[in-house]
Amino acid sequence: MKETLIIAGFGGQGVLSMGKILAYSGVMQGFEVTWMPSYGPEMRGGTANVTVILSDRKISSPIAYEYDTAIILNQQSMDKFEAKVRPGGTLIYDTNGITHHPTRTDIHIYSINATEESAKLGNTKLFNTMILGGYLKVCPVVTMENVKLGLKKSLPERAWKMLPENEKAILHGAEIIHQIR
């Protein structure tokens, strides 16, 4: 098993922490993992992305040239990463703010409107865990039990009171994701 994933969007959308939750979930599942972020000023309000690799073998390069899955959360990232999904791979995107929708026909495409759904729940901070739930529905690389453990591991203790809400958001994300192609 090897899953090479990129999560790309705006700084502040929780891109890096979503990657971290997934990476920690992978650790709990017994996988080798790498989490390789873009960093620096571009994180501060600009675009941010993180490459997460989960594998049952030692991971050679933490830097990928194509992805099994791309989670795309803004137009700039769509422009940059749609072409980098391997044929037969998966592209998941939040439709909010997307003007040019993906056009490829050789990959699986899913959309999820977590921006709107998290706003409806009155907590936009749940946006990223909702997206994560959608992703795990489509690509169940780690068990829900390990995701719960990964979530807890990746949050500081002072944020543990947020765990139940985030777990619900993951389940909700799994319900609202739908396949386009």
Partner 1 sequence: MAQQQQEVKLMKGNEVIAHAAIRFGCDAYFGYPITPQSEVMETLMELKPWETTGMVVLQAESEISSINMVYGAAATGKRVLTSSSSPGISLMAEGISYIAGAELPCLIVNCQRGGPGLGTIQPSQGDYFQACKGGGHGDYHLIVLAPNSVQEMHDFVKLGLDLAFKYRNPAMILADGAIGQMMEKVVLAPQQPRRTNEEIAAECKEWATYGKPADRKRNVVTSLELQSEAMEQINLRLNAKYRTMEENEVRYEAIECDDADYVLVAFGSSARICSATVEMARAEGLRVGLLRPITLYPFPTRPIAELAKRVKGFLSVELNAGQMVEDVRLAVNGAAPVEHYGRQGGMIYSPDEVLAALKQKLIKA
Site for partner 1 contains 105 (CB under 8 A): no
- Between 65 and 164, whose beta carbon lies closer to partner 1? 65
CA–CA dist 63, 159 (Å, integer) = 31
Q: Which of 102, 67, 101 is nearest to 84 (CA)?
A: 67
Site for partner 1 contains 104 (CB under 8 A): no
Site for partner 1 contains 60 (CB under 8 A): yes
Q: By the 8 A CB rule, do 39 and 152 touch?
A: no
Residue 39 Cβ vs partner 1, minimum distance, rounded to whole Å = 5
Site for partner 1 contains 55 (CB under 8 A): no
Site for partner 1 contains 154 (CB under 8 A): yes
- Between 61 and 143, whose beta carbon lies closer to partner 1? 61
Site for partner 1 contains 37 (CB under 8 A): yes
Identify the residue among 20, 74, 112, 172 touching partner 1 (CB under 8 A): 20
CA distances from 123 to 133, 134, 165 (A): 16, 17, 9
Q: By the 8 A CB rule, do 64 and 10 touch?
A: no
Q: By the 8 A CB rule, do 172 and 133 touch?
A: yes
Identify the residue among 153, 162, 165, 171 touching partner 1 (CB under 8 A): 153
Query: By the criterion CB under 8 A, which residues form the site for partner 1?
Result: 20, 23-24, 27, 32-37, 39-41, 59-65, 153-154
